[in-house]
Amino acid sequence: MMTVGGWILFVLLAFGVAIAGIFIGMSLETEALGTILTTVICGILVVAMFMGFRWYYSSTESGKRAMKSQEANFNAGIERRVEVYDVEGELIKEYEGRFDVTYDDDRILFDDENGHRHIIYYSTGNVIIDELGEKGENNESN
């Protein structure tokens, strides 16, 4: 599985390999041999590129994060639970639902399913954000 951007990049690169192969094949003296040879080489390059893209999106952490981000964008967020604790460790507020979370140096920001914006500043204490599984339980596999 790849992201939409990954597929677009793959198609553009494969198209570039095909165009380069056509020009190289046409420039060889024996046109039939050149066409067969460049077709085989271009095919191998495109398959290797595809396998490289698949490896990147399934085996690297940045590729997995890209897939998770795309999933969140296409599915209106990820099922999560946000727990906000004060500096003493007491639970202040808990939010649960499908949403994306953004953060910077001093705050966490998310819009819940009802369209309400929540801004939580780190100075309030600790914030725990868990991704939930299908039934609202912690998803230990991700």
The model's pTM is 0.62
- Taking 3-state DSSP, the helix, strand and coil percentages for the chain, each rounded to the nearest 5, stand at 50, 25, 25
Contacts of 58 (CB under 8 A, 6+ apart): 1, 64
Query: In sequence order, what are the residues at sequence separation of 6 or more whose Cβ sits closer than 8 angstroms to the Cβ of residue 14?
Result: 46, 49, 50
> And the tokens for 49?
């590129």
CA dihedral 27, 28, 32, 37 (to 10 degrees): -100
User: What is the model's pLDDT at position 141?
Assistant: 41
pLDDT digits (tens, 9 = 90+) for 84-125: 898 888 998 898 888 888 888 888 888 887 888 988 887 778
48-83 per-position pLDDT tens digit: 999 999 999 999 999 998 888 888 778 767 888 989
Q: How far is Cα 11 from Cα 60, in angstroms, rounded to an integer?
A: 21
